[in-house]
Structure 1
Amino acid sequence: MSTSSVTQAKSVRFGKVHVREFLRMLGPSVVPGDGGWPLGISFDLVNEGEAEVSVDSFESRKQERLRNRWRSQYPDSEPPLLLESRQWDYKQSSKNPIFRLIYEKERMSLLLEDTGTTCKGDRSQSSLSHDFEQKSSKNTLRTRSGSFSEQYNDIYTQVKVHHIRNELEQLRNSRSGEGSTGCTCRKLHVYLPPPNAGRKAAHRRTKPAKVKEELRKRHALPEGTVSREELERRLHDLVEEEPCCTSDCPCVRAGIVCQIDSCSCWMISHQMDKGKQFVRNPTTEQIQQRCGNRYGMTTIDCTEINQYRKKFVCA
């Protein structure tokens, strides 16, 4: 008696799609580029839609909606065969042209329309987006939307809207300041004039009071009468031996690690190695040593990542 076994190929299949639609609301964790009226999604269900639709049917309907969106913004051109429903196009690593930032007035109109409030004299979303894009391309600074007649209702009252706008403005101001994302620590630069430098290098030297203050902070101020040159040399050697991020670093004070993509304490322009030469391509160990944060520093090794990728790409 013989037995035979049948090996089935493994596969992944998608079933049905269930679509739900929800009302918009003032977004609690959204910071738009300008003004107020941040867009968010509430828990109030508007439409259950069809009970179940196939994936192919859902995707085809989505493409049709995206094509209509394209035609409304670009009436003189035909849409591509395949459109993305995300803000960034993963194939081209660029912004999706049919998803743009919109003005504060348009965000207000969308929220009020969901509650049954009509807004008179509203401009189309495409024209507002086009104006915003042109303004952004001419001026990289963040600009507030143009003045407009703001409207309110029982849900979006004036007090609530203005309170949220003030909170958003405070967030934007806090993010735009120096050191708002990561630390900007730099080592103290102590200039040591060469022999017979004369008065030409006098303006580059650290003031004697500053030198004594820094030595006192490091508990290294000698007693008695010591020459200015000796004090400068002592401070210079101490600074060279210590890390960049000390107790004055905001990351250290907060008890968190430094991040290579947000902190600038490790950059080559901020610190020289013991050989007095800049290291153009520092290793992970050198970067962490430059920073010196006692809680650590999160780094990435691009060379190792690329080598790991090549094993799979070449295969």
Structure 2
Amino acid sequence: MAFFVSVLGFAMVFLPLFAASSADLSSTFYSSSCPKALYTIQTAVKAAVKKEARMGASLLRLHFHDCFVNGCDGSILLDDNSTFTGEKTATGNVNSVRGFDVVDDIKSKVEAVCPGVVSCADILAVAARDSVVCFGGPTWTVLLGRRDSTTASLSAANSNIPSPTSSLSNLITSFSNQGLSRSEMVALSGSHTIGQARCTSFRAHIYNETNIESTFSTSLQSDCPFSGGDDNLSPLDASSATVFDSGYYKNLVNKKGLLHSDQELFNGGSTDSQVNGYTTSSSTFFKDFASAMVKMGNISPLTGTSGEVRTKCGKVN
């Protein structure tokens, strides 16, 4: 009980700051300055996903990992330089996040139609939405006007991005630290209805843990041996890996969550009822997911004269 009291206390202090920091964002931010921006991003995302279906989940994940480190400011895209070490080599990112080349391609296409106008942070937010739509998921109105950071934080990336071995309480705390509720955490976790994970991320879950259906864990062991094969991939949602649906939650109820952190959402704890609800109402999941994505996308954006609009997403101007 004390834990939840502390979370609520934190949220009461944090959320007013959160609301104020996102007040300058607008769905029409580029209507005059770059009216072709959204269409250009959408077209590029569709082409990238058509070329490689996995890229949709990768672009969605880039936005998530960006927002959890000092806000949605494009910092995850920055390469190391002489003044700072970037976030790409953080524990939750190295050999994991991908799609930087696709973001660079999108940026170059946007620059071609309106140079120096659209931020890399906004491109990540729009590309995440368009990726979900490509897989049959919900759409939402992306608020725009973020500017790009001129620095990055390896230490914040190491501490803020939830681990695939996280417990339920750790997940709740990680999301609460970003102003996101327990319910929003469960909804956002549904992004794992698409995408894949490396063997090293779920090996302990399939060999050492009991909260997993035995036939399912055995079936995974051929592609993820007890030693070796760290980079071998398995779908996060084996039942419908290329469709954005509520199958992820049905898997959890059947103890077929690929990651330890996934299965923690349905393990006799406070989130079981919400998971159960999503298994019977995809529309509720879609509505909650879209709403939570808007809120996550508004975490501590740089606006006005803060930051910059990078010409190239991997380096400051």
TM-score, normalising length from structure 1?
Answer: 0.22
Greater percentage in strand: 1
- Report which structure shows greater RCO (CA 8 Å, sep ≥6): 2
Query: For the pair shown, which has the larger CA radius of gyration, 1 or 2?
Result: 1
